[in-house]
Amino acid sequence: MLVLLAGLGIGVTYVVQHASEPRISAQQRLIDSRNLLDLLPPDSYDNQPLDQPLALENIRLSNSTLLGGYLATKASQPSAVLLRSQTLGYEGSIELLIAIGASGKLLGVKTLKQSETPALGGKIADWPNTWLQVFTGKSRNAPGDTGWALRKDQGQFDQIAGATITSRAVISAVHDALRFFDEHPQQLIGSSAHE
């Protein structure tokens, strides 16, 4: 009798789990979508960017690695790319989401994962993040290459208080992503950037 009840319990658990799996997957996809797409203005795309991954995987750049990306379109025309980038901070890796408009201007930056010191570099994970918003509207050449650095390094950006290494890593990763976009527009949006 005990074996029969245990078997029945396992069977019911399996059926419930199997039946609810699509709904759980759909909810997780919605959560992921909100987390990844909140950098894009809602009226800037009409596709499902997460359903249009870019052929990018572990592309090593000067100061970071591109882990992947997505294409956002509006009326079947590229409007933006979302690039997942990983760089090395003070305590370990920092994973960023970098949104770049089809014109090559930065739409926003968001931290997806980090292991920096809480209350110092860990502030990079706050959302919305005032420090990361400073990059919005910048491009590869505005500021020029030398401007993509901390003020203490003769650049144009302030650092997060007490987090020089984290700040340098993020600035370099954002600049890497903009440089990659500028050098590979055909691969990312199917046309020349700045058209």
Comparing 135 with 23, which gets the higher pLDDT? Answer: 135
29-80, pLDDT tens digit by residue?
A: 666 666 778 888 888 899 988 888 998 889 999 999 999 999 999 999 999 9
pTM of the predicted protein model: 0.80
Using an 8 Å Cβ cutoff, are 166 and 89 in contact? yes
DSSP code string of 81-138 = EEEEEEEE-SSSEEEEEEEEETTS-EEEEEEEE--PPTTTGGGGG-SS-HHHHTTTT-
End-to-end CA distance of the chain: 74
Query: What's the confidence (pLDDT) of residue 133?
Result: 92
Instruction: Report domain extents, the chain.
Output: 1-37, 42-189
What confidence tens digit (pLDDT) does each residue in 85-136 have?
Answer: 999 988 889 999 999 999 999 999 999 888 887 777 777 877 888 889 999 9
Calpha distance 182→176 (Å, rounded)? 10
